[in-house]
Amino acid sequence: GAVVSQHPSRVICKSGTSVKIECRSLDFQATTMFWYRQFPKKSLMLMATSNEGSKATYEQGVEKDKFLINHASLTLSTLTVTSAHPEDSSFYICSASDGRATYEQYFGPGTRLTVT
Amino acid sequence: TQLLEQSPQFLSIQEGENLTVYCNSSSVFSSLQWYRQEPGEGPVLLVTVVTGGEVKKLKRLTFQFGDARKDSSLHITAAQTGDTGLYLCAGDTGNQFYFGTGTSLTVIP
């Protein structure tokens, strides 16, 4: 149980375009989803926390107009990187929680974004 | 400044050697997790510790939570090449979750 999927696993896009990454909880209802960014051999950096049906809470320094997060249902959250630039290239990971405990997060497999 | 500092940041050892990774903070955590992550994949939970002084063993891996619940360690005995990966600790304060700075382990055959 507690499986989280991400789609796509890899995406290459051109500078200036937008790209959407989906995060789905497959066998549980995710009241909260988290989006992280990770650079090679570095830890995960929390970008934002989203609760189903409400606006996401962004961490300091993360542009909410650039990284649009939607959590429209209890099984789906999306991250849209708008007007992508090469510096947005990174590994993006989502996690989902059913709300029972802060530490019980289930991680997706990640999405490798490359902006050319 | 990271709430959870891991040391060492990078570690390269020979197969069969032992190693310890440390996760330190000045904050108290209600629980602490250790994850292992391989390149291109999401983190995989190894263990959760919740009681100060708790020790948990997972085959060749031994996890300890500090008595004051501010720090933790991961000890690997007789490392294998399959142990190669990024090890992350993460702490829960009760209302927020923090990842450590990470330790990249390479086990050389």
For B9-43, what is each residue's pLDDT tens digit? 999 999 999 999 999 999 999 999 999 999 999 99
**Would you call B10 exposed, middle or buried from its count of C-beta atoms within 10 A (0-12, 13-18, 19+)?**
exposed
A60 close contact with B: CB closer than 8 A: no
**Predicted confidence band of residue A102 (pLDDT cuts 50, 70, 90):** low
Please work out, in degrees rounded to the nearest 5, the angle formed at the alpha carbon of residue A45 by the alpha carbons of B38 and B103: 45
User: Which pLDDT score is estimated for A56?
Assistant: 92
- Please indicate whether, in this complex, the C-beta atoms of A43 and B97 are within 8 angstroms of each other: no
User: Which pLDDT score is estimated for B93?
Assistant: 86
3-state SS assignment for residue A87:
helix
Task: Tell me which chain A residues have a C-beta less than 8 angstroms from the C-beta of B42.
Answer: 4, 6, 93, 95, 107-110
Answer with the residue of higher pLDDT: A20 or A98.
Answer: A20
How far apart are the C-alpha atoms of B40 and A6, rounded to whole Å?
A: 12
User: Which pLDDT score is estimated for A36?
Assistant: 96
Query: What's chain B's average pLDDT?
Result: 94
Residue B1: pLDDT over 60: no
User: Which pLDDT score is estimated for A67?
Assistant: 97
Residue B99: pLDDT over 60: yes
Answer with the residue of higher pLDDT: A80 or A98.
Answer: A80
Task: Tell me which chain A residues have a C-beta less than 8 angstroms from the C-beta of B31.
Answer: 101, 103
For A32-48, what is each residue's pLDDT tens digit? 999 999 998 899 999 99
Task: Tell me which chain A residues have a C-beta less than 8 angstroms from the C-beta of B90.
Answer: 103
Q: Kindly state the percentage of chain B with pLDDT values over 90.
A: 90
Residue A59: pLDDT over 90: yes
Q: Do A6 and A23 touch, CB atoms closer than 8 A?
A: yes
CA distance A110 to chain B (A): 5
- Please indicate whether, in this complex, the C-beta atoms of B33 and A103 are within 8 angstroms of each other: yes
CA distance A105 to chain B (A): 9
Task: Tell me which chain B residues have a C-beta less than 8 angstroms from the C-beta of A109.
Answer: 41-42
Q: Which of A96, A92, A79, A87 is nearest to A27 (CA)?
A: A96
User: Which pLDDT score is estimated for A84?
Assistant: 97
Q: Which of A61, A56, A65, A63 is nearest to A94 (CA)?
A: A56
Query: What's chain A's average pLDDT?
Result: 92
Residue of B2, B30, B41 lying closest to A109 (CB–CB): B41
User: Which pLDDT score is estimated for B49?
Assistant: 95
User: Which pLDDT score is estimated for A72?
Assistant: 83
Residue A98: pLDDT over 90: no
**Predicted confidence band of residue A109 (pLDDT cuts 50, 70, 90):** very high
Answer with the residue of higher pLDDT: A105 or A85.
Answer: A85
How far apart are the C-alpha atoms of A66 and B104, rounded to whole Å?
A: 30
Residue A85: pLDDT over 70: yes
Q: Kindly state the percentage of chain A with pLDDT values over 90.
A: 76
For B68-106, give one letter per residue: b (16+ CB within 10 A) or e. ebbbbbbbbeebeeebbbbbbbbbbbeeebbbbbbbbbe
CB pairs under 8 A between A and B: 54
Q: Which of A40, A38, A53, A60 is nearest to A107 (CA)?
A: A38
Whole-number Cα distances in Å, B9 to A5, A59, B5, B71, B107: 29, 24, 9, 16, 14
